[in-house]
Amino acid sequence: MLAFVFPGQGSQYPGMAKEFAEAYPTARAMMEEADDLLHVHLSKIMLEGPDDVLRQTEYTQPAIFLHSMIAIKHDENVNQPQATAGHSLGEYTALTVAGALEFKDALQLVYLRGTLMAEAGKRSSGTMAAIIGMEANKLSALCEEVETKTGSVVRPANFNSPGQIVISGSPFGVQEVMRLSKENGVRMAKELSVSGAFHSPLMQYAADGLREALQSTEITEPSIPVFSNVTAEPVKDIEDIRNLLVEQLTSPVRWEQSVKNMYDMGVREFVEYGPGKVLQGLITRTLTGIKATGVEKPKTVAA
């Protein structure tokens, strides 16, 4: 069985989707449509940068979504998947590919989501850090201990693969967990360059704003199983999709478990559409006996 997967924030780079734009007039047309819909020069930011503008959350998220959608629309060897999932904002791409969201609606939601998350980061100062080499239950307990003792928010934000977890919360809470993790002998505890504490309670402002937008967005039942970040299980019910997309902003991304559950369903081949190879790496560190490839550029120029 085959699953399509879609990356989240952090995979962007200046020049993303450039080869598609040069090879296909239809890819350029998708970029121009996005510019018109969002009333921003998203295509210019994607193709030319500068990097510090592209890294702004409100541009990063629609840029990655658009690159993924262009890649899947222009894959000449595309096959019908039996399941799909996306990491954080990639869940919107997965829902679009599964027919639950229209392209235009998903693009506008992702742009709004990025804008709201950036604003939430300004309203509630926060940060994130990657912790490599600690079991999930131990790190979760450590976060709970620090939060209880200090009153500073700190939670697991991304369960990416075995031993690779991202934490999120207030600067003090995150730094305290990093300090204690190092004392416990983790391989790495590194603060990330982000504009807020994503997937933590500090994103509540963004969740509230997104809830309102999702209520007025038409959603239909997905044609194939879409694995939710929040539950790591397929979601079909339309109201559940709405609620889980809101909850996703303040809840951890259960990527490792989502990948394992797709495997249990029978998936043995994963194709990542969009910028970078992050998900391919996470999947191969989580599962054995599977195939994980990616479509980042047209086949003729893929390297």
Three-class DSSP labels, 126-169: CEEEEEECCCHHHHHHHHHHHHHHHCCCEEEEEEEECCEEEEEE
Q: What is the pLDDT of residues 75-97, one digit of tens each?
A: 988 899 999 999 999 999 999 99
Q: How confident is the model at residue 228 (pLDDT cuts 50, 70, 90)?
A: very high
Which residues are CB-neighbours of 216 under 8 A, at least 6 positions away?
none
CA distance linking residue 267 with residue 264, whole number of Å? 7
The answer to whether residues 101 and 219 touch, using CB atoms and an 8 Å cutoff, is: yes
Residue 193's pLDDT band (cuts 50, 70, 90):
confident
Beta strands in the chain (DSSP E): 2-6, 83-86, 127-132, 154-161, 164-169, 188-191, 226-227, 269-273, 291-295
Per-residue confidence (pLDDT) for residue 77, from 0 to 100: 84
pLDDT at 44: 97
Reported confidence tier of residue 302, pLDDT bands at 50, 70, 90? very low
CA 62 to chain CA centroid, Å, is 11
Q: Characterize 148-164 residue by residue with b for buried, 16 or more Cβ atoms within 10 angstroms of its Cβ, and e for exposed.
A: eeeebbbbbbbbbbebb
Secondary structure percentages of the chain, helix, strand, coil, to 5: 50, 15, 35
Residue with token string 């003792």: 149
Within 10 Å of residue 192's Cβ, how many Cβ atoms?
15
Work out the pLDDT band at 301, boundaries 50, 70, 90: low
Catalytic (active-site) positions = 88, 199
Structure tokens of 225?
Answer: 């199983």
Report yes or no: 165 and 139 within 8 Å, Cβ to Cβ.
yes
Amino acid making up residue 81:
P
Structural domains of the chain, with CATH: 2-122+201-295 (3.40.366.10), 125-191 (3.30.70.250)
- pLDDT tens per residue, range 146-173: 999 999 999 999 999 999 999 999 999 9
pLDDT of residue 195: 86
- Lowest mean per-residue pLDDT among 48-52, 61-65, 226-230, 299-303: 299-303
Residue 303, pLDDT score: 45
What's residue 291's pLDDT? 97
Distance of alpha carbon 80 from alpha carbon 126, whole angstroms: 40
Average pLDDT of the chain is 96
Q: How far apart are the first and last CA of the chain?
A: 26
| CA–CA gap between residue 101 and residue 255 (Å, rounded) | 21
- Give the pLDDT score at 78: 86
Residue (of 285, 291, 294) closest to 132 by Cα position:
285
Q: Is the pLDDT reported for residue 8 higher than 60?
A: yes
